[in-house]
């Protein structure tokens, strides 16, 4: 269950919440959504955990890594269950840092949208920079299936009129080959 926290208290029931996330991930075994009649270019599932589990001063690196692994596992199961004959459909797991609550599993149903959203050449400018040589999988010891590759970008946006309204994040894409 996704939940925003309005307090700065330590998250309780972490083993149960990680068990629930593992069960959610495993629920994708043999499952692929019916996309007949679905007109949007994008279908997604956000990480179903409380925000304090993956962000803030009480979120540990080990727990974030475990959550990331469950997202990657769910992505793998969707790839395995994907029916043959779909026009275009790429399964992607996106893990964002330090804003991990924004992480998600995505089905891209439009090739142009996929290319524009996952680092096509026209997206590179001063705001988006490839994270060359860096790997979230290596630094967090994540197990990446053979049919998935990793790509990372660093996003740096500073509003020229209001520097306090800036956005910095690293986005790691685990993309179906």
- Residue 156 is assigned to a structural domain of this protein: yes
* Residue 4 predicted with pLDDT over 70: no
51, 10 in Cβ contact below 8 A? no
Question: Rounded distance, CA 117 to CA 119, Å?
Answer: 6
- Residue 114 is assigned to a structural domain of this protein: yes
**Residue with the larger pLDDT of the pair 106 and 120:** 106
- Residue 2 is assigned to a structural domain of this protein: no
Instruction: Return the closest-CA partner of residue 154 out of 177, 176, 175, 133.
Output: 133
Kindly tell me the sign of the dihedral angle through the C-alpha atoms of 117, 84, 144, 65: positive
* Residue 78 predicted with pLDDT over 80: yes
The pLDDT assigned to 121 comes to 43
- Residue 3 is assigned to a structural domain of this protein: no
pLDDT digits (tens, 9 = 90+) for 30-60: 999 999 999 999 999 999 999 999 999 889 9
Confidence bin at 1 (pLDDT 50/70/90) = low
* Total domain count, the chain: 1
- Residue 95 is assigned to a structural domain of this protein: yes
* Residue 125 predicted with pLDDT over 70: no
- Residue 80 is assigned to a structural domain of this protein: yes
pTM value is: 0.91
Distances (CA, A) of 177 to 21, 91, 94, 109, 142: 25, 9, 15, 15, 18
Domain containing residue 121:
14-176
Question: Rounded distance, CA 123 to CA 120, Å?
Answer: 6
- Residue 9 is assigned to a structural domain of this protein: no
| DSSP conformational letter for 20 | H
81, 32 in Cβ contact below 8 A? yes
- Residue 119 is assigned to a structural domain of this protein: yes
Question: Rounded distance, CA 2 to CA 53, Å?
Answer: 10
The pLDDT assigned to 117 comes to 80
Residue 43, judged by CB atoms within 10 A of its CB (0-12, 13-18, 19+), counts as: middle
């Amino acid at each position: 269950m996704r939940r925003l926290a309005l307090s700065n208290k330590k998250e309780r029931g972490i083993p149960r919440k990680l068990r629930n996330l593992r069960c959610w991930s495993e629920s994708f075994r043999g499952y692929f959504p019916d996309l007949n009649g679905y007109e949007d270019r994008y279908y997604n599932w956000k990480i179903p955990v409380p925000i304090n589990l993956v962000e803030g001063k009480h979120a540990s690196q080990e727990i974030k890594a475990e959550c990331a692994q469950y997202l990657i596992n769910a992505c793998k199961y969707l790839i395995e269950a994907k029916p043959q004959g779909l026009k275009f459909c790429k399964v992607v797991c996106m893990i964002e840092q330090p804003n991990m609550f924004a992480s998600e599993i995505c089905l891209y149903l439009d090739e142009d949208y996929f290319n524009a959203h996952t680092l096509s050449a026209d997206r590179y400018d001063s705001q988006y920079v490839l994270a060359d040589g860096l790997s979230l999988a290596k630094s967090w010891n994540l197990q990446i299936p053979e049919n998935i590759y990793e790509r990372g970008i660093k996003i740096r946006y500073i509003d020229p009129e209001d520097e306090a309204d800036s956005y910095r994040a690293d986005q790691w894409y685990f993309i179906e080959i």
